[in-house]
Structures are given as C-alpha cells and as structure tokens.
C-alpha cells in the first residue's frame, strides 16, 4: 500500500512540476506571444495549485489536514476547466469578452466558498472523513448537491472545449493537425479520468485526475517546443483568412493551387477543394472558360485589372500578388482578388458625367476640347485636313419664352437626334454650350464641312419637333473653318474662325452655312 501511495504522490508531483514549468516558461516569454499566453498561464497555474495541494493531501495524517488541503485544491481545480475553455476559444479565434470570462468564473468562485464553508452546511460534501478501511490519507466521502452542480459544470467546460477543437479538424491544414491533436488530448485525458472517478471506476479514496495530468502537460510542452503553439495558431489564422473580404488564392512554387478562402469561393462559385493540387492555369480555365490573362511570374505587387463575365454580370477584379515562403525554404505565391466592380461602375459614371452632356448624352465642351486637341495636332503632324463646324439653333430663346424651358430641352434633344442620324463614325459631335453645337471633322476639308452642314440643316427642316404643344419647326445656322497648313494656328484660333463664320451666317438671315474666309476678318 505504501509503495502504491508513493507512486500516486510521485505522479501527482510530476504533474504539478510540469504545469508549474509550463506556467513559468510561458510567463517569461509572454512578450513574444499574443494574449492567448495569458489564458494559458492562468490555466496551468490553476492546475499546478490543484496538483501540489493534492500531493500534500496524500501525505496528510488527520482529517483536519486533509480538509485544509482540499480547500487549497479548490483554489485551482474548479478554475482550470473554464480557463482551459477560454484558452481553447481564443486559440480557435472565438471572441472572448469580459462578460464571457466573468460568466465562466462565477461558479468556480462559488464552489471555492462552498468547500471552505462545507462544515457549516455540508452542501458540497455531505460526509468527508478518513476511509475506515484504508486509513489516512485515503478519504471516504459522500457528495452533496453542490458537488453535483460543480461536477456537471467542469465536465461541461472540458467537453465543450473538446467539441470545439474536434469541429475544426477538417479545416485545419495537415502540418498543424499534430498541434490540434495535442490540444484535443489535453482536454480529453482529464475529462475521461474525471468521468471514471465520478462513476467509481478508479481506486477508492484518491482523486485520479492530478495523477494523470502529467500526460496532458507533456503534450502541451511538446506543442510549445515543436509546433510553436503560441507563435502560430493555424485555426485562428484560418478564421481570419476566411473572414477577409478579398479573395485569396495560395499557390506553391510550381503554381499549383494549395489553398483559397471563402471570399474567393463566393467570387468564383465553381472553385472547389477537388481543384487543390492542380496547376493554376488549369484551375482558372475551369473557373472562367479562358486562359489567365497574365503570366504568373510577371504578376507583381502592382495591381492589375481583370474583367470576368459571370452568369449574373460582368465583374472587374483588381489582382495583386505577394511572394510567399513556406516551410523548408519552399516558395509560393499569394494572389489577392479585390472586387472593384462597383468602384469601376462609379468611375465610369463619374467619367460619363465629366465628359458627356447630361441632357443630350453627347460629348460636352470639355470632352470636345480634350479629344479635338489631340486630333488637331495629329492632323498638323501628318498634313491632313481638319475642319471645325459650329452650329447654332436659330431663335432658340423664342422657343423657351413661348413654350417654356422643358420644351426647349425637348428641342435640344430632338436636334441632336436628327444630326446624329446623318453623321458618320469618326465625326466628333458635341454640345458646345447652350443651344450651340460643334463638329470636328478629321480628314475633311471646309468644302466637305459645308456639304455636311447643309445636309444637317435640310434634315432638321423636314423633321420638326412634334410634341403636346404641336409642331415646332426650327432652323440651324453653321460656321465652317478649315485649318490652314501654312499657318501655325492653334485649335483656339480655328474655333474662333468657325465662330466668325457662324456669326456671318446669322447676320445674313440665319438657316444657312458660311465658310470662313479672310474677308470675314475685314468685316468683323
């Protein structure tokens, strides 16, 4: 019996020493770890108190000594399972709030008080005395109602922690599964031992849990030293990896798919775990039905845009790449897909508002000057003709005064549609301001501009505006000017010439086309 008791004491002390070592080791290196280390320090510290107090209880010779060391055990034992649960939750990336901490630690505090005052109410132990057969330090006890509440609570904490760890098995990468196994066993060993103790399947008179805790301690020690338990938390990492909005694809050094996150799965519904290990070019072809538009070795940290047609709409993605270095100096690549579809739509909308007239939906003055400057310079460089045609709606103010501005707006839209029906591709048409419009004719002479002006003028004559106010007929006046090759004139000067020709057309009665000539300078 003495040798058996010595073995019990030795194992319990071993458990205490190992947990105390873990507690001190992590405490000394806590600045190198995240806040998860704090939970582990409290967890192993509570177990250490539990184990050393159990060892002292096993060398006690009176019931008073046994009761005292039982109280000390409960300074640590009821707190270790909830602290282990909090440690597990933090490891898995589950948010640990102050309220959750307090809620889990309230009942252990009550248990400690109940044990310390048990002689007054006997709610935790109805009977606790030295075993009449085995003698000290073996104890005979009959449990009370609070012992059952306390037992259910600590068993539930260990069981929930165990289930949480098991639930993350599939989504944990193989290199990190040994770490997960160590944590699972760390919860399973004391849970099974406590269960066997509660059903009376262990040697009588002795609490077997601290005797077996050395095994869990060794597993934790292995995890810290070999798999960097606190420096790398793969499951918490996976939680973050899968919660980011950007799609992430991880490739190995041979550009084979080795991982992707949930956002990427939402972007590309066909993406599946069965594609893992395939070359990315093959994966992309299955996702899009086309080849990946960039060479993977050339995709750098500078973003590149990619348009992809889906079943629902055309999407635009910004792609960035970051080099990765895996274990054993193996390299890889991280592709980040950012959905910028809405941003591009907004950009297109803003560009449209900046360069298009809101009412008529043709180019505005800003867009005309920007594009026309380029075409004008190109025409001078290659000595090709370039002509400007300015046009103005005759007596437009009278239409506004007679029918109102809403009819005036209808008339502007009508004039644009009539002109567009006669224009050809490459003839740059814009609203110059108010009721005035402008045409840039690249590669056309003034004579050709005059012919086009008359075509537009006659077309509007035979297509009046018909609305609720009746038939509203208007005419157009035109001024045409061609860039002179021998002169070093600017676009502004050419527009001024066309404006003088337009003024001349209006002065001579409107509804006509005038081509600029030097004589107009003398008239003006």
What is the full DSSP assignment across 94-139?
----HHHHHHHHHHHHHHHHHHHTHHHH-SSEEEEEE-TTT-TT-E
Radius of gyration of the chain (CA): 43
Q: Is 430 helix (H, G, I), strand (E, B) or coil?
A: strand
- Given a contact cutoff of 8 angstroms between Cβ atoms, the answer to whether 414 and 404 are in contact is no
Domain 2-235: top CATH class: mainly alpha
Q: How many Å apart are CA 351 and CA 347, to the nearest integer? A: 6
CATH code reported for the domain at 244-345: 3.30.450.20
Closest CA to 403 of 469, 471, 461: 469
Question: Rounded distance, CA 294 to CA 247, Å?
Answer: 17
Q: Give the chain's length.
A: 524
Q: Start-end ranges of CATH 3.30.70.270 in the chain?
A: 356-523
Least confident of 225-229, 352-356, 502-506: 225-229
Q: Where are the beta strands (DSSP E) in 257-395?
A: 257-260, 304-309, 314-325, 331-339, 386-393
Fold classified for 356-523: Alpha-Beta Plaits (3.30.70)
Closest C-alpha among 57, 80, 59 to residue 69: 57
Start and end residues for every CATH 3.30.450.20 domain found in the chain: 244-345
Residue 303: its pLDDT value, please?
64
With beta carbons less than 8 A apart as the criterion, state whether 512 and 505 touch: yes
**Lowest mean pLDDT segment, chosen from 46-60, 172-186, 195-209, 292-306:** 292-306
What is the rounded CA–CA span in Å between residue 479 and residue 467? 29
Residue with the larger pLDDT of the pair 343 and 177:
343
* Residue 230: pLDDT band with limits 50, 70, 90: low
User: What residues pair up with 20 in beta bridges, in sequence order?
Assistant: none
Q: Among all chains, which residue has been given the structure tokens 């005059």?
A: 450
Q: Among the listed ranges 136-140, 157-161, 235-239, which one has the minimum average pLDDT value? A: 235-239
pLDDT reading at 523 higher than 80: no
Match 């000057």 to its residue by tokens: 369
What is the tens place of the pLDDT at every residue in 337-380? 888 888 888 888 888 888 899 999 999 999 999 999 999 999 98
Tokens standing for residue 243: 């919660």
């Amino acid at each position: 019996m003495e040798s058996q008791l010595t073995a019990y004491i030795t194992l319990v002390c071993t458990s205490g020493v190992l947990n105390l070592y873990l507690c001190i080791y992590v405490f000394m290196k806590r600045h190198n770890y995240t806040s998860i280390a704090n939970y582990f320090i409290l967890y192993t510290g509570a177990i250490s108190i539990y184990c050393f107090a159990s060892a002292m209880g096993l060398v006690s010779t009176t019931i008073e000594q046994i009761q005292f060391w039982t109280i000390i055990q409960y300074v640590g034992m009821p707190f270790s399972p909830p602290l282990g649960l909090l440690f597990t939750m933090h490891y898995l990336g589950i948010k640990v709030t102050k309220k959750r901490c307090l809620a889990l630690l309230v009942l252990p505090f009550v248990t400690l008080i109940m044990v310390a005052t048990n002689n007054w109410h006997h709610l935790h132990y109805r009977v606790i005395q030295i075993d009449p057969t085995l003698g000290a330090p073996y104890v005979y006890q009959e449990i009370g109602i609070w012992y059952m509440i306390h037992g259910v609570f600590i068993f539930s904490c260990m069981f929930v922690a165990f289930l949480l760890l098991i639930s993350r098995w599939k989504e944990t990468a193989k290199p990190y599964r040994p770490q997960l196994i160590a944590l699972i066993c760390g919860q399973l060993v004391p849970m099974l031992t406590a269960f066997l103790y509660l059903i009376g399947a262990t040697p009588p008179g002795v609490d077997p849990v601290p005797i077996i805790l050395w095994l869990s301690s060794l597993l934790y020690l292995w995890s810290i030293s070999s798999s960097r338990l606190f420096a790398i938390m793969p499951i918490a990492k996976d939680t973050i990896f899968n919660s980011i909005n950007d799609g992430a694809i991880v490739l190995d050094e041979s550009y084979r798919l080795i991982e992707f996150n949930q956002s990427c799965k939402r972007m590309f519904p066909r993406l599946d775990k069965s594609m893992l290990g395939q070359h990315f070019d093959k994966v992309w072809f299955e996702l899009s039905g086309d080849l990946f538009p960039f060479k993977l070795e050339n995709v750098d940290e500078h973003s590149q845009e990619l348009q992809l047609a889906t079943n629902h709409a055309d999407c635009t993605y910004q792609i960035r790449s970051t080099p990765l270095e895996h274990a054993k100096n193996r390299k890889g690549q991280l592709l980040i897909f950012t959905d910028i579809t809405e941003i591009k739509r907004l950009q297109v909308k803003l560009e449209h508002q900046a360069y298009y007239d809101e009412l008529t939906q043709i180019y505005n003055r800003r867009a005309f000057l920007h594009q026309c400057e380029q075409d004008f310079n190109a025409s001078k460089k290659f000595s090709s003709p370039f002509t400007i045609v300015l046009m103005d709606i005759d007596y437009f103010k009278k239409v506004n005064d007679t029918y109102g501005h809403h009819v005036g707006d209808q008339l502007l839209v009508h004039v644009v549609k009539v002109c567009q029906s006669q224009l050809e591709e490459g003839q740059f048409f814009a609203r110059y301001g108010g009721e005035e419009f402008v045409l840039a004719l690249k590669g056309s002479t003034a004579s050709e501009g005059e012919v086009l002006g008359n075509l537009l003028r006659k077309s509007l004559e035979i297509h009046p505006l018909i609305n609720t106010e009746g038939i509203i007929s208007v005419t157009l006046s035109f001024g045409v000017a061609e860039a002179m090759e021998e002169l070093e004139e600017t676009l502004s000067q050419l527009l001024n010439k066309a404006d003088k020709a337009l003024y001349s057309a209006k002065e001579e009665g409107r509804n006509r086309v005038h081509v600029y000539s030097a004589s107009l300078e003398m008239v003006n």
